[in-house]
Amino acid sequence: MDGILVIDKEPGPTSHDVVAQVRRLLGQPRVGHCGTLDPLATGVLVICLGRYTRLSQWLGDEDKEYQATFVLGATSDTGDAQGQVNPSPIDPAGPEPDREAMLSALHGLEGVREQVPPAYSAVKVHGVPSYRLARRDAAVPLAPRTVRVNAVNLVGYEYPRVEVRVECGKGTYVRSLAVELGERLGCGGYVEALRRLRAGTLDLGRAVSMDRLARATANGSLADCLVPVEEALSGIPRVVLEAESDRSFCHGNPVPFATAATTGSVAAVFDAAGSFRGIGAWDRQRGVLAPRAVLVGPETEVVPGG
C-alpha cells in the first residue's frame, strides 16, 4: 500500500520506534518518517508508506510549528528534561528576567542563523549518530548549520517556566533555542515539554493515535486514516499534465512547460483526471519539468486521494 499518515506521537518512543510499530502493525515493509521528533516530544509525525516513502524528502522540507515549555534557572546535558539537569540559579542579588527582557531575548532567536545541533541528537558523525558518541562521553564535533526561525512567540511566562510557540524551517532544534534563551538571559535553560502542532500543512487535526490506527487496521478502515496526497503536498505548486506530456513524464522523460508556470523549485504532478504522478523539478535553462520521483506503475496500489 502507498499512503501518508499523520501520527500523534506519544512521549517516550523515538521516531524510529514509531516507524517500527507502524511497519509491524500494517505488515508494510516500506515505512519512513518525515522529520525526527525527540523521545520527549509529542505531536505531528508524518509517516509515508510504500512508494510514498520517496516523498519523504519534500514533505520533510516543510516548515514546522511547535508549542514548547522552557525551564529557566537550570541546564541539561541533553537540552531537555530527559537529561542530567543541573541547577544554575540566578545571582540572588539580581532580579529574575522580567517580561520585557524575555520578549527581547525571544526576538533575538528569530531569523536565518547558524545553530549547532545538540550533542544528543540523531545527526551522524562519521556515520555514527551523535547521541551514541555523547553517551560514551566521546567528543562530538558537530558543525553549525543554517536554520530559519520564523517566529518565537511568548504564550505565557511565570518564572522559571516559559511557554512559547515556535515556527521554524527544516533542521531547527527547539532544544537549542531553549539553551540559547537561557544563555541570553544568563540563567540557563532547557526544554521541559515539546509538542509539534504542524508539519507543512498537516496539523493535529489530521493526526491519529497509534491506538486508533490499530483499531482501523483491525476493522478494515485504514483508508480513513490516510491523508490524500494532494493535501499532504498542498504546500508545493501543483502542475497538471495532459495525456502526451503525462505519458512522457511517467516514462521518466522531461516535459516542456510554459516559463510562467515555473514557480518554486519543484512541483507536484497530476494528470488531467487528478491522479498523482510524482514530483518534478524545474529546469529553467531548458524550459522543462524533469521527473524527480515517478510514483506510478502496475505495482502501485491506489488509495483514496492517491
Q: Are 241 and 259 in contact (CB under 8 A)?
A: no
Contact 189, 203 (CB under 8 A): no
Alpha carbon distance 185, 63 (integer Å): 27
Question: Is 211 designated active site?
Answer: no
Task: Burial-class residue 23 by CB neighbours within 10 Å (0-12, 13-18, 19+).
Answer: middle
Catalytic residue selected from 2, 38, 246, 271: 38
Cβ atoms within 10 Å, residue 116: 16
Helix (H) or strand (E) holding 14: none
Helices and strands (DSSP H and E) totals, the chain: 8, 18
Question: Angle CA(64)–CA(67)–CA(69) in degrees, nearest 5?
Answer: 135
Task: Quote the cell numbers at residue 39.
Answer: 523521545
User: CA-to-CA distance for 78 and 260, rounded, in angstroms?
Assistant: 48
The catalytic residue positions are 38
